Structure 1
Amino acid sequence: MNFRFQNLLGAPYRGGNAIISGDSLLISPIGNRVSITDLINSQTQTLPCQTSSNIARIAASPDARFLIAIDDNSRLLFINLRRRVVLHRMSFKKPVSAIAFSPDGSLVAVGVGKLVQIWRSPGFKKEFFPFQLVRTFADCQGAVTSLDWSPDSEYLLAGSKDLAVRLFCLKNFSGVSSKPFLFLGHRDSIVGAFFRLDKKFNNKVCGVYTISRNGSIFVWNYMGGDGGSGDFGKEVSEPPAPGTPEQRAGGVSDENVGDEVYTELGKRKKIDALIGEEESEVPLHRGKWELSKKNSFDQTPAKLTACDYHRGLDLVVAGFSNGVFGLYQMPDFVCIHLLSISKEKITTAVFNRLGNWLSFGCAKLGQLLVWEWRSESYVLKQQGHYFDVNCVAYSPDSQLLATGADDNKIKVWTVSSGFCFVTFSEHTNAVTALHFMPNNNCLLSASLDGTIRAWDLFRYRNFRTFTTPSSRQFVSLASDQSGEVICAGTLDSFEIFVWSMKTGRLLDVLSGHEGPVHGLMFSPSNAILASSSWDKTVRLWDVFEGKGAVETFPHTHDVLTSVYRPDGKQLACSTLDGQIHFWDPLDGVLMYTIEGRRDIAGGRLMTDRRSAANSSSGKFFTSLCYSADGSYILAGGNSKYICMYDVSDQVLLRRFQITNNLSLDGVLDFLNSKNMTEAGPLDLIDDDNSDEDEGISKQTRGKLGYDLPGSIPNRGRPVIRTKCLRIAPTGRSWAAATTEGVLIYAIDDSFVFDPTDLDIDVTPEAVDAALNEDQYQMALLLSLRLNEDFLIKKCTLAVQPADIPAVASSVPFRYLQRLLEAFSDLMENCPHLEFILRWCQELCKTHGQLIQQNSRSLLPALRSLQKVITRLHQDLSDTCSFNEYSLRYLCSTSHKS
C-alpha cells in the first residue's frame, strides 16, 4: 500500500508562466501542480505538492533553491525544490498577477491587484511567520501586470493596466521624495518593462524598455540627475554631452567621489571632501529620463501577450495572440527571427540564463517547447492531449505507457523520463481502448471511428487496420496471449468482432449481448474471452472453438467493466449499483461481493441539487485493475477517489484522492452557502466582461464534455473523474487516466523499515563484523533480517564471484523476493552488470522449482528484474551497433589512406 505520487503525464502545460531556472531546468505549472523538466538529461518530474486551484504565477529564487507558486485563489506555496516539500503557506487578499525575486534573493516583489508589495524572502531557518511585509506601493491606478528588478535590488519597475510604468526606489534617501517616476505614452496596458544595463560602466542602469499590449516598445535613456527634493532638492547641472562616459554613467565619472550638484544659489560644487564617507548619488526615480525611440512589432490586429528581455545579449522576445513570436536585437530594434508556432495565443515566453534558449507555451493547445534560436532547432517540444485521456496501457516490460484521448491521438511515453516520444494521429474519432501485444513492439488501438489499428513501435507507423463491413463504434479491445486473435466490442450494434492478426481478415462475429460491450478481456490461462455489457450480464466465449457463449453470469444491474486476475482463476466485474462481484470462471460460482458505494462517494457538483452524501450519481466503478500478484484490486470511477481493496478479506485498504484542485468540479464535499444566489451558484453566473484574449479562453474539453448528461452547463468547469486504471506488470507502479492527466503512483521503499526475525543480536554492527571476518553468508542473512536496503546491497557486492554459488544456495526462500528487488535496483544504478547477472543466475538455479511453484507471489519482483535486463540489453545492443559501425568506418578510411 506504500504507493506515492510520482509523476503526471499527458498535460505538460495548461496556463500560467513558465520559467527556466539556472541553465537547464524548465519549470512550468500543470493545473495545480508544478512540473520540472531537465532539458539536458531529458527527464521530467512533477512535484507532489498541490495548490488549492490552478497555478497562475510561479517564480524561482536566483540560486534555484526555492520556488513560489501562487494559484487563482491567491494562495501562495513556498517550496524547497531540492527536497520537494512545502516550507510555508500564505494567502493574499486580491489576485496576484506578477511576482519576482530580487537578484540577491532577499526580497520578493508581488503585484497584488493595484498594489506592489515587497516581502522579505524566508530562508531555511524555522520562523513563526517567515514572510514579512517590508513595503507597499499604492501608486498604480490599474492592476499590476509586470515586475522587474534592477541588478542591485534597489529599484523596481512595475507596469500596470493604467498604461503607465513606474520606477520605485527601495533605498532610503533622507529627504528625497518616494514618489515613483512615471514612464507614459503607451495606449494599451503594459505587458513588460525591463531595465537596460551599460556593460562599459559596471553594468549600471542606463535605460528602460517598456512594452504594451498593442505591440509598441519604447526605449528610454537615463540622462542623469535633474534635481529633486531634500538633500538633492537643488538644481542639478545640465546633462553631459551625449556619448561621454559621464552621460552613460548617469552624470558620474570614474574620478568623481560624489555627484555634482548645485547649491541653493545655483553654483556648482564638486564634493571632494566626502572621500571615505558614504557616497552621495541621485536616485534613478528622481533623475532625468528621455524617450529616445518608439517602435512597433507590426502584428496588427494580433495583441502582444508575452515578452521577455535578456540583459546580457540585449535581446527582446515577444509572443502574440496569433501564435507568432519575434526575436529582436535592441536598442536598434533589428528583427532576428519572426516565426509562427501555431494559430493560438502564446501565453508565456522566457529566456534561459545564458540566453541561447527560448521557452514558449500555448495554454489552449497544452503545448510547451524550448527553441535554440542560434541553430534554429528544438530542444524540447512536448504537447499534452488536447482533450481528456480515455485509456492507458502499460507495455509488458513496464517501460512504456500508451495513452489515448478524445483528441483522436495516441501518445507513447517513456515512464522513467516522463517524455512522449511518438504521437499517432491517424484515428478520426476518439480513442477508446489500447492494448500492448506480448512482444512489446506492437500496440493496438480501438476508436469510435470504426477501426482497430495496429502500430509498429520500431518504425512508428500503422501497419494494419481492422474494419467491419458496416461502420461500428468500438469501445473495448482484447488480444489472446499468442497474439493471433484480436477482439473488439461495440457501442451501437452490441456485437463482438474477431479478426486474425496475421491476415487482418474478419473471422467471426459474436452476438448475444443486448447492450454496449464496455469490458473485454482474454483469460491469462486459456483462450476464453470474457465480455461485460450494459445488459446486466458477463459472458464467456470460446473464440477458437467457435461454440459461442460458454457461460453467462447474470447481475441485477448494468455491468460496467470486467477484468481477470493475473492467474486467470478469478473474474471481477463492476455494476451500476456500486458493487464489485468476484466470480470463479471455472466453476461459474459467485465467490464474494464488495459494496463500494460509500467508499467511492465524495465530491459534489455545482449543479447538484443534493449533497454529496445523498446524491446517487457517480457512486459506481467504471474501471478495475488487479495487482500483479492478484492480492488487491484498484477501482475508480466518476469520483475524486480511487479505492484499493483486499480481495481475500473484501476490505478497503486505502483511498487515494487524486486531486485537491478546486478549479475542478466534484472536489468539494460541501458547497459554500455564501456563494448561493437566487439565480443559482455564483460560480455558474457568467459575469465576465473581459474579452477572450485577456485570459485563457474557456474551452469544452472532450467529445462527451465535462458535464453529466442532462445537467446544467457549468461554464466548461472540468468534472473530476477516473476513466481508466492500469497497474504495471512489475507491480511497482500504476497509472490512472483522470481529468487532470495521467497520474503515476509508484512504491517508495526509501523510508520504510520492515524487519523480519529481528532479535537483539541482529544489528548493523553485527553485519559489519561478519563482513570484516569474510563471513558473507552470515552478513547477507543478517542484512535480510534487518531488511535495510543499504546493508543488503553492501553485503551482496562484498561477496567474491567464486563464492556466489555457495552464498546463493544458503539464502532461504522467504528472503528471495527481497533479494530480487535489491538486484533490480542495483542493476539500474550499479556498473557491475555481469556480477549481478551471475547472482540472478545462481538464485534461479538453486530455487528454480520453488520459483515456479510460487510464481504468483514472486511475479512483481521477477517482472521488475526483467524490465531492467530488457532495458540494459537494448542500451548495450545500441552501443555495440554504434561501435561496430564506427570501427568499420575507421577501418575503411585507414585502408583507403
Structure 2
Amino acid sequence: MNPPLPLEFLENISNIISQNISFKTEDKFKIKLIKFIKILAKYRCLLFLDNIDAIIEHENYREYSEILQAIGQSKHNSCLIITSRKIPQELESLVGNKTSTYFRELQGLDYQTGRQILGDIDTFHGSEDEWQFLIQQVCHGNPLFIKSIAHHIQEVHHNNLSDFLLKGNLLIEKVESILNSYFQQLSNLEKAIIFELAINRNPVSLSELEHNIIIEPDGKSIQEGIRSLSSKILLDKKDDYFTIHPLLIEYFTQKIITIATEEIKTQKFQLLRSNSLTKTTVPDYLRKIQINVILHPIINNLIHNFQENNLESKLIDCLKTLKNEPSGQIGGIAGNIINLLNILKNGHLIGYDFSHIPIRQVDLSNIRLNQVDFSYSQFFDCIFPQTCGSILSISCSQFNRSFPREDLLATGDSHGMIYLWKVKQDGKLELSKSFPAHGSWVWSVALNSEGQLLASGGQDGIIKIWSITTDLSINCHSLPHPSQKHYAPIRAVTFSADSKFLATGSEDKTIKIWSVETGECLHTLEGHQERVGGVTFSPNGQLLASGSADKTIKIWSVDTGKCLHTLTGHQDWVWQVAFSSDGQLLASGSGDKTIKIWSIIEGEYQNIDTLTGHESWIWSIAFSPDGQYIASGSEDFTLRLWSVKTRECLQCFRGYGNRLSSITFSPDSQYILSGSIDRSIRLWSIKNHKCLQQINGHTDWICSVAFSPDGKTLISGSGDQTIRLWSGESGKVIKILQEKDYWVLLHQVAVSPNGQLIASTSHDNTIKLWDIRTDEKYTFSPEHQKRVWSIAFSPNSQMLVSGSGDNSVKLWSVPRGFCLKTFEEHQAWVLSVTFSPDGRLIATGSEDRTIKLWSIEDDMTQSLRTFKGHQGRIWSVVFSSDGQRLASSSDDQTVKVWQVKDGRLINSFEGHKSWVWSVAFSPDGKLLASGGDDATIRIWDVETGELHQLLCEHTKSVRSVCFSPDGKTLASAGEDETIKLWNLKTGECQNTLRSPRLYEQTNIKGVEGLNYETSNTMKILGAFLSR
C-alpha cells in the first residue's frame, strides 16, 4: 500500500537481514542489487512482495523488474513470494523444468466462508445456486469483492440477490465495473472523502478529514458525508480512524490520476479544488510515496498530452485563471499546480507569479524560488526552508508536567546559531526561535530536564547559560570570569540532573565544573593528555565521565574533582560517553569504530561488551530514557539502534549525506532525533524505523576559492554542492559544475596550472576532476578510506597530491587517476597539501600539529623533514614562489613562516582571535595573506613580520584566500556566502560576488500565514517586502 522505492527496498531488507552489510550512500542501484543478492546467498531468507503489479509499471518503481529478474536468475539460498493479478513478464521467461521459478494460481474463499461473510453484513435473499454462483463465479472467492458487491446489493437491489443477478448482468463481467458504478453514484463530498482516504494511504481521523478537505462541495458536513459514504463503499473504522482496503486505495488512486489529468486539460476543477494530492502534514516517507504514485504519473500523462514545454505554459494558464476567482473558492488548486510545476522544473521555479492566491500543502523547503512573486498570497500547511548550517549539537528537554510548555529541542550549528524547536505530541518539530549565540561553531548545547536553562559551548571558547521563559524569551545570564575560562574551543557542555552544576569539556585538555547559580568554576579537572570530546554526569550527579583524544575515559568525583578511574581499551579518540538512566552502564563511542559498554558494580568499571558494525568514527551516542536502547551516529553516514539487553543492532538508519554529529532520544523513548553535518535534523520512529520528518538547512558558504592562471576567472567550491566559475571582470557566474549524484560537502577546489582542469575533494572519500572546456567529470578510484580534505596540482599539471582523514597522502597521475605513491607518517588527518614551485617536493599539514616535507623523485616514502611548532591542527600550508619558504596556518591562532632547507622557524605572526583557515603568499613572496575564523583577513609583511593591512568586511569565518597572478588583487571567500575582491594597493573591497540565494528577489509583501521566524528566514534567503 505504501511501497518503498526500489533502492529503499534493497537497503531496508538488507539492514534487516544483515546489519554488517556495507551499503554506501554513493552506491548506485546495480551495486546495491549485487550486494543484496550476495546477502540472499549467504543467508536463508523468505521475502514477500504483495500486489507487485500495482507498482511495477510506475516510472519510479520500474527497477523492481530488475530485482525480480536478479532474484530469479541468481543462485542463492532464499525464497521470494510475490502476489500479483497477472504474471510479471520479467519472470515469464524464467519458468521451466530446470528453473526454480514457479507460478501458482491462488484459490479464493470456499462457498461456506463466503456465505459467512455475507451473513455478517446483512440478511440477503436468494437460492443456494445463486449464492454459489455469486461467491465462486462472480467474486472468485475474493473477500473484498464479496463485501463490495454485498454493499451494492444492499443499496441498489434492496438485499435481493435474484434481482441483482437478473438486472446486474453487465456488472458481473468485471468487479471493477461495480466499483465504477459505485463511483458514479457518489456525491462530490463523498468523492472528496474517498479521495482523501486514498491520498493519505493510512488511517485518517475525522478531524484530519475536516481539516484536509478544503471545500465541502455539497454544503454538507464531513460527518454527513462519512455516514452516507459508509452505505456505498466499504469503510474500515478503528478507534475513530477511517481507511479503505488497499485494493480500493489502488483503484481510487488511479481515479485521482485520471481525473486530475483531465481537470488540468479542461481547467474545470473539482478534485484539485477540494483535495491536496500530497500532504505536508503526513510523515516524510509517506509524502515521498504520494509524490511517486500520484504526482509523477499525472506529470507523465500531461507530458504525453502537451509535451514538456507546452505543459509548463498549460500549468501557468491554470494559475492565471485563479486570479479571477474568490480566494475562498480556490481551495487546493494552486498548491497542487505548484507541486506539479516543482516536479516538472526539477525544483527550480524561477520568475513565476504566485501572487494573490491561497497556497496549500506545498513543501517549499527544497525549491529554488528566485524572482518569484508571492505578494498577498496566503500559505496554509506549507513547509519552509531553514537557514541552519551543519548541525553540530542537539539536546532535548525531558517532559515536566509542572512546567506549562511542550518539550523543547535545541540545536547548535556551524554559523554560531542556536535554534529552539517545539516537540509536538506526534514527535514532529516546529521552529520556535533562533538566535546568534557564538561567533562561530556551536560545538555543544544542553537543555536541563525542565527546558528552563540552556547551556552552549562554542568554537570561540566561550560558555553561555541562557534562561528560557514560558513564552520562549531568551536571556543570557551567566558567563565565566575571564580568569576561569577555557583557553580553547568548548567541545562539550552538560547539566547535572538537578541542574545545580554544569560541566564543560574543552580542547585545552581540561574539564570544568561550574555552579549554575553563581557562575563560579568549582573544579578544573586535569589529567587528559589530549582534547576532551564528551562529558556526562551520572544520573545521581555524583560522578562525571569524560572521553578524550588520548583514547581514554576518565571517571571523576563531582564533589572533590579527583579522578577516580581511567578506562582504557579504545584504539582511537573517544568522542562521546553516556550513562544509562539507572547509572549501571556507561557507553563510549570512539574513532576506532566501536562502542564499548562498561558495567558499574560497586564503583568498579568493567568492559562487558564491544559493539561493532559502524565503518568509521563514532561521533555520538545516547541511551534511551527507558534504558532499552543505545543510539549511535557515525562518520559512515549512518545511525544505528542497539538493544541494551541483547547488544544486537536492531536497525541501521541511512540516507545521510555526511556524518552524524549529535543524537538524542525523545523523552518517551519513541523517537530518535539526529543532527548531521549535511545540515539536516531528522526525526526517526523507533516503532516503524521510518523518517517522520527531515528539516534541511540551506547555506551557500564558500569553502575554497582560486584564480585561473590568467587571472580572468575565479573558481569557487560551495556548500550548495556546486563549483562556480566567475568572471573576474564582471563578477557574473560563467558556469556552474554541480554534484548531482547525492549530497556532498566540498572541502577544496584546485585549478591546474594549464587552466584546463578543476579538481575537487569532499566528504565522500573521492577526488573529482572536471574538464573546464567540456564539463566532463572524472572520479578517481576511491583509494582513500576517509574523507579527502585537501588537494593540489603539480606545476606541470600532470600530477595531483591529496590529503585525507585516513592520515595518508597520495600522489596521483592526471587525468587517469592512478595512485602513484602513498605517504603514511602523519598520526592524524592530513588537512592541507601543496607542491613546491619546481614540482619536486610536497608539503603536508596535519591535525597531528606537524608539517612534513616529502620528495616525489624516487621510490622513498619517508618524509625528508618534519616541522614542529604549532600547538593546534594545521589547516593550510603553502610554498613561496621561489620555493625557499613555507607558510602555515593553524587553529592555535598563528601563522608561521619556515625555512624549507632546514625546517627553521623564521617568524610567527599573531593577531587572529580564532582559528586561521587559510594562508597564501603573494606572487613576489613579499606579502602573506591569512583568513581566519574571526572573519578577518590579515596581510603580513614577510620580511618584517608586521601587519601590513587588516581587512574586515566579511561577517563570518573566512575560509579561503588567494592572490591574483599579477599580485594586485586578493580574493577571499567564507561562510557569509560571499567572495570579496580586494585592491591591495588601497585595501578596499572593489567587488563582492554572491550567487543567488534560495529566495533571491522573491516578493513576500502582504503574505499571510508566515510567523516571525519563517518570514525572517525567507528574508535571510533573499526575499523582500516589495520595493
TM-score interval for Structure 1 and Structure 2 normalised by the shorter chain: 0.3 to 0.5
- The TM-score with structure 1 as length reference comes to 0.37
Structure with more relative contact order (C-alpha pairs < 8 Å, separation 6 or more): 1
In terms of fraction of residues, the more strand-rich structure is 1
In terms of fraction of residues, the more helix-rich structure is 2
